[in-house]
Structure 1
């Protein structure tokens, strides 16, 4: 089955088609050329590409949503705001994660910038989630320090693991480690003097 056809069908179901000028993607080449071979793509401002993509996407979902894009320390950061923005996060942030993947792909194709990370937040979802994960990390750190035994969390996305790593980086009694591969990658919180 052709992946491009599946994507085209999915986008058509969302009301996005090739005829729309929101984010014009070039036709897929037979052999993928490196991004650096397209000098006109390199000239386009990555912030403008990301903002245009997100505006096109949100205009079809809820025209009242607002987009703000800024350059962060290590990524382009976009905030989608508005009265109903929080609904765009989806269950457990899955829709938001998909939007980030699409935004990264568009940025790599349109601006030739596959080196830039993209973070998208809707209605403060990521901030609230980071706060919740930080509180969880602190509670688990106390538990691990008291028991002397490591605690392994369920598999979670890299961004969530990163929040916990950062929250416990300076903790005097515990340390963190990511274990596993791919979608099964999870976080291990263990005492600093832990030996399995």
Structure 2
């Protein structure tokens, strides 16, 4: 934890000075008053400024990154974690070698890690955080794969005139297919079944 000792004529001024130096808001620090201000004799002799210590607290994202690094070390992987702030989420992209074990079959291990990372982050945050976990742009590659799959299946449905049920997918993956075919003129999509075996069905309109 980063600590900073600052002074000011009043405690509030000292805290304000410290926050300006750290570039954070007051909810990100723990304030400890080390010395109370004193006006001294006639306001001239023995004047003492306030002295406070500001301790920068870790936020949820910091804790999430630390958790990821600990998990990677336990798996004997050397990784780097890049933070990207997006509109409604924070994307943590893992880079390194041999990341297949972190991704798992069709991203299942990555999804499980993402679930845990969100729990860790929100445990250390006073506001709700949504973290998207990625590894070597797997999410984008998977999105492209699912969109291509949805187009192929839509073509098969039109040719056979029979609905086709896909394999079980996560809600995020189902959203990709629903979105891709939402405006399709000839087919429609709907979900069927219960988690974790909920599936998309592609059928004629």
Question: How high is the TM-score relative to the length of structure 2?
Answer: 0.65
Shift in Å, 1:140? 0.5
Residues 92-128 of structure 1: per-residue CA shift (max 9 Å, x gap): 3222111111101101211144x43322111222222
CA RMSD of aligned residues (A): 2.5
8 Å Cα contact 1:50/1:69 also seen in 2:
no
Greater mean alpha carbon deviation, residues 56-65 or residues 175-184: 56-65
Partner of 2:160: 147
Shift in Å, 1:91? 2.6
8 Å Cα contact 1:47/1:70 also seen in 2:
no
More strand by share: 2
Is the radius of gyration larger for structure 1 or structure 2? 2
8 Å Cα contact 2:59/2:124 also seen in 1:
no
Shift in Å, 1:44? 5.4
Distance 1:55 1:146, change over 3 A: same
Residues 111-157 of structure 1: per-residue CA shift (max 9 Å, x gap): 144x4332211122222222211111000011112333221112211
Question: How high is the TM-score relative to the length of structure 1?
Answer: 0.67
Distance 1:60 1:184, change over 3 A: closer
Distance 1:166 1:116, change over 3 A: farther
Partner of 1:135: 148
8 Å Cα contact 1:70/1:76 also seen in 2:
yes
| Equivalent residues in 2 for 1:44-193, closer than 5 Å | 45-62=59-76, 64-113=78-127, 115-192=128-205
For structure 2, the 5+ residue unaligned runs are: 1-26, 30-56
Q: Relative contact order (alpha carbons < 8 A, sep ≥ 6): 1 or 2 greater?
A: 1
